[in-house]
């Protein structure tokens, strides 16, 4: 591209493309991932009760992408374990973050400037992982754009996509939410990256690979830093998303009506329960159970459940005091 | 077979066996599958909140069999995505059923005569899928009748067998029920088909493949039409099942005693709750939730939970008005 | 080793190593596994309501290790079904244990001396399964100690490790507990075995294979017999575990503080509940069950939930009367 030539960015993009992730960037990825696990509600308790479950959870945070893309391509999900050096490095970091005397490591890494640098480095690894997934899928299924996107996405955002099952390892089960129902920012940006790299790989996108790598990396790092510094979780794509949503997915819109109905039903229910009195205990208990399980309002529960997670994801600016 | 010769059914069965499923029969399968998803409680809400989760759920309804049989044979579960035409077709149908302006497509397809034709065509695809699974397993494991049955069943009834995980995508979790605990009619008929085709493949059943295809297809189509027209969900195998059950699985029968106990426990429970007071509504509602999770009575909860599903499965005669 | 020579144990260990597991030891494994399933709460009910779900659950108890290690190595999880003889044998045992007229088989097998012998024989199969897993992984991933341990462990203790999903087949879902969060004795001893055999395979452990097999088998059989005779569930490694735990995993210990908080919350809760009325004890205990699903305290809930399981695992001395 001419623009890259003019701005003398060609060497920079080549330099970036030849950068090795191991060991420094990988290390940053492991630290940020394990810290994200530690900030999940209940994770500290689990780390005291069962170090093994905690370690396994950490490995899923660190290597979730490789495990998920392995399963999707029918390759052994234990394959990440064969890379002893990476597993050892991740395990040492897991140990230091959770069990270091005086909690020195976590407190240091949680200081804003350091955390900012580490998170930026972790974002860099995302580019490599997404590209790795897309290339791997391209090698197996030459022309399938969809498979490339799926594998690139899985490899880059695996930890998030399998979070339901990662939580299960820690004894936590939140079926009412998952990354497909309500995507977090990292999952979204990874999906966009997977689409871009898949389009580049199939030559639909007239850009060279190292140029796209530079652009995508700069975008993710800058955006992550901005989000951490301002403490905002606003997606930079909110406007586009909203426009797409309004254009494509409103259709005949029975949703407003439905919500109204559900609300009315709930009010009716409440009234009935209240007026009938003691004899309805059994029914109300069942309606309570039903209400818990009714698919009618998984969406309501979501927002609350996700809030905790989002806070922990975005609360990277919180100081160490909070956790003590 | 002489009978086939006498009845001049030989050409018919040959013609049927050479029928191509793509595009019309596949299309009917996608339409009926996506409509079944749309009729699941809560599915419409999910379609508004997260089109991606809704799309993924639809793909599991349409390609669940291929995904499940892929996992069981250690073949890539992303393989169905490589068939771009099918995925595109299914996606277009998903979009039209959920988001078409004025809801035209769903309303048209839900009209009884059209739905009857579409459901009949979907039943035809079942024969092809079961046979495909049995043949695939036969190619890999020459003599294993059990594997053939398992893969044929998985391919034909995959959407139902993985329904727990399909629901999880939509934020719904109903652990107290699954297709093994209480089989629906489509799962049952698919299992019978898998057994028959596996026996035919291993030459235990003295029938030619195209004859069996004709017989099985006619049976499934006629039976499905009958069930839709009469609105009954009675299985045609109820008598045989009951006889087998009574002969084989009653043994020393501690079940009667057990049920009695459970019933008593429930009554006791109810009494206790009733006497306490009106203020316990919240607690009792929670105890209701707890009772659903106790392993002691998964069976009771089932019937209620399954009712909703069965209704949506069999309520194919309901007009469009109901959902507006 | 000299010691083995001196004690004339060389022939014995060679003899043991050449022992065939089929059919007697396999049969003992199936009987003990199916009986363990039958003693799970709710399993008898499921066996009456859905023989198919019960059969599938039994197969997961019997072949869970092969299924799990198959998935981990991206080999077909249906592979165990290809061994028709084993599946047939396990199915016959499943039928006899659950549906035998007069419940003769279960009652006989539950008599202490016979159960002791069967359990001892089942422990012998553990050695073979662990070794099989380690060898299989060694063939695929020459130098990866971690993969060998993982596959050996999965093959030897698969039924336990996938118990969450095995329970799901029966309509039971207990997310608050799993074998990683709180390991049962069989899972622990299998992990130790996997580590030892992996070390032996990679020549870090200066022992010959048949000697290690003898030592490990004797240890597991003796220990299991001791536990069954004394009725104790105390792990023989409790002291070592405790020492390792105290040395490595106490770190800065925010856990005490956390537990305190949880305790206070519980007390507060209790008070509130208590003030509402005296008769709500039952409800509050059940609401406690509901609270179990909150991610905040998976650890508390665990102990109770696991108790039932452990009891059934260790209650192998209970006579037949209890279940009638």
pLDDT digits (tens, 9 = 90+) for C276-309: 333 333 333 333 333 334 333 444 444 444 444 4
State the Cα–Cα distance between residues B223 and B218, nearest whole angstrom: 8
Provide the strand spans (E) within C155-200.
Answer: none
Residue C165 distance to chain B (closest CA, Å): 10
For the question of an ipTM over 0.90, the answer is: no
State the Cα–Cα distance between residues B175 and C264, nearest whole angstrom: 32
Q: Can you tell me whether residue A162 is helix, strand or coil?
A: coil
State the Cα–Cα distance between residues B269 and B291, nearest whole angstrom: 11
Contact of A152 with A200, CB cutoff 8 Å: no
Assign residue C235 a region (left: φ > 0; alpha: ψ between -120 and 50; beta: otherwise): beta
Whether A265 shows a pLDDT value over 50: the answer reads no
- The pLDDT value recorded for residue B255 is 45
The residues, ordered by sequence, that sit 6+ positions from A69 with a Cβ below 8 Å of its Cβ are A75, A133, A136, A151, A154, A155, A158
B34 to B98, B109, B272, C37: CA distances (angstroms): 9, 11, 45, 38
Contact of A68 with A158, CB cutoff 8 Å: yes
Count of Cβ atoms closer than 10 Å to residue A104 Cβ? 13
> C50 to chain B: which residues are within 8 Å by CB?
180-183
pLDDT digits (tens, 9 = 90+) for C19-40: 999 999 999 999 999 999 999 9
State the Cα–Cα distance between residues C23 and B55, nearest whole angstrom: 49
Which pair of structure tokens corresponds to residue A159? 């930890």
Residue of A nearest to C146 (CA): A81
Could you read off the pLDDT tens digit of each residue along chain B, which spans 324 residues? Answer: 566 666 778 889 999 999 999 999 999 999 999 999 999 999 999 999 999 999 999 999 999 999 999 999 999 999 999 999 999 999 999 999 999 988 999 999 999 999 999 999 999 999 999 999 999 999 999 889 999 999 999 999 999 999 999 999 999 999 999 999 999 999 999 999 999 999 999 999 999 999 999 999 999 999 999 999 998 877 888 899 999 999 999 865 544 444 434 333 333 333 333 333 333 333 333 333 333 343 334 444 444 444 444 434 443 333 344 433
Task: State the greatest distance between any 2 C-alpha atoms of chain A, in Å, as a whole number.
Answer: 80
Contact of C215 with C106, CB cutoff 8 Å: no
Find the range with the poorest average confidence among A176-185, C214-223, C277-286: C277-286
Q: Which chains touch B (3 or more CB pairs under 8 A)?
A: A, C
In sequence order, what DSSP letters do the residues of C19-72 get, joined into one string? ---TTHHHHHHHHHHHHHHHTSTTHHHHHHH-HHHHHHHHHHHHHHHHHHHHHH
For C112-115, the CB contacts below 8 A with 24+ separation are: C112/C228, C112/C317, C112/C319, C115/C32, C115/C35, C115/C228, C115/C316, C115/C317
Do C147 and A82 make contact, defined as CB atoms within 8 angstroms? yes
Which pair of structure tokens corresponds to residue A65? 């992408």
Across C14-28, b (16+ Cβ under 10 Å) vs e yields eebbeeebeeebbbb
Do B274 and A279 make contact, defined as CB atoms within 8 angstroms? yes
Tell me which residue in A95, A103, A173 faces C252 most closely, judged by beta carbons: A103
Contact of A194 with A149, CB cutoff 8 Å: yes
Q: Which chains touch C (3 or more CB pairs under 8 A)?
A: A, B
- The pLDDT value recorded for residue C8 is 78
Residue of B nearest to C94 (CA): B249
Residue A37 distance to chain B (closest CA, Å): 22
- The pLDDT value recorded for residue B253 is 52
Contact of A62 with A34, CB cutoff 8 Å: yes
Contact of B198 with B145, CB cutoff 8 Å: yes
State the Cα–Cα distance between residues C134 and C194, nearest whole angstrom: 7
Do C287 and B291 make contact, defined as CB atoms within 8 angstroms? no
- The pLDDT value recorded for residue C137 is 96
Residue B263 distance to chain A (closest CA, Å): 14
> A53 to chain C: which residues are within 8 Å by CB?
178, 180-181
For an interface test with C, the pick among A78, A91, A163, A301 (most C C-beta atoms closer than 10 Å) comes out as: A78
* Residue found under tokens 């208990």: A285
Res. C41 pLDDT band, cuts 50 70 90 = very high
Interface of A with C (CB under 8 A): 41-42, 44-53, 56, 70, 74-78, 81-82, 84, 87, 95, 98-103, 167-174, 323-324
Residue of A nearest to C74 (CA): A76
* Residue found under tokens 């229910």: A269
Count of Cβ atoms closer than 10 Å to residue A173 Cβ? 20
For residue A297, report the phi and psi dihedrals to the nearest 5 degrees. -135, 50
State the Cα–Cα distance between residues A155 and A163, nearest whole angstrom: 14
> B86 to chain A: which residues are within 8 Å by CB?
none
Cis peptide before B73 (omega within 30 of 0): no
pLDDT digits (tens, 9 = 90+) for C113-146: 999 999 999 999 999 999 999 999 999 998 899 9
The residues, ordered by sequence, that sit 6+ positions from C271 with a Cβ below 8 Å of its Cβ are none
State the Cα–Cα distance between residues B128 and B124, nearest whole angstrom: 7
Which pair of structure tokens corresponds to residue C54? 């019960």
Tell me which residue in B251, B275, B286 faces C287 most closely, judged by beta carbons: B286
Contact of B79 with A146, CB cutoff 8 Å: no
Tell me which residue in A183, A281, A295 faces B42 most closely, judged by beta carbons: A295
């Amino acid at each position: 591209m001419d623009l890259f030539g003019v701005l003398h960015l060609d060497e920079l993009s080549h330099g970036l493309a030849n950068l090795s992730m191991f060991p420094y960037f990988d290390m940053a990825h492991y630290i940020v991932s394990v810290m994200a696990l530690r900030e999940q509600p209940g994770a500290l308790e689990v780390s005291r009760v069962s170090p093994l479950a905690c370690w396994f959870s950490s490995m899923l945070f660190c290597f979730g992408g490789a495990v998920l893309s392995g399963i999707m391509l029918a390759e052994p999900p234990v394959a990440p374990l064969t890379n002893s050096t990476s597993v050892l490095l991740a395990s040492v970091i897991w140990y230091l973050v959770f069990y270091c005397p005086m909690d020195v490591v976590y407190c240091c890494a949680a200081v804003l400037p350091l955390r900012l640098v580490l998170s930026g480095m972790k974002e860099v690894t995302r580019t490599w992982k997404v590209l790795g997934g897309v290339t791997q899928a391209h090698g197996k299924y030459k022309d399938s754009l969809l498979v490339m996107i799926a594998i690139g996405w899985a490899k880059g955002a695996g930890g998030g996509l399998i979070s339901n099952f990662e939580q299960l390892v820690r004894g936590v089960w939140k079926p009412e939410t998952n990354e497909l129902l309500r995507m977090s920012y990292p999952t979204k940006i990874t999906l966009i990256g997977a689409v871009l790299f898949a389009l580049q790989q199939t030559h639909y996108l007239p850009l060279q690979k190292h140029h796209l790598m530079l652009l995508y990396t700069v975008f993710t790092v800058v955006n992550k830093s901005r989000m951490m510094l301002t403490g905002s979780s606003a997606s930079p794509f909110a406007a586009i998303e909203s426009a797409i949503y309004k254009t494509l997915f409103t259709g005949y819109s029975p949703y407003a009506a439905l919500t109204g109905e559900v609300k009315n039903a709930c009010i009716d229910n409440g009234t009935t329960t209240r007026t009938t009195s003691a004899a309805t205990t059994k029914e109300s208990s069942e309606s309570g159970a039903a209400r818990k399980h009714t698919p009618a309002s998984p969406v309501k529960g979501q927002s609350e459940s996700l809030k905790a997670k989002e806070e922990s994801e975005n609360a990277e600016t919180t100081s160490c005091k909070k956790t003590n």
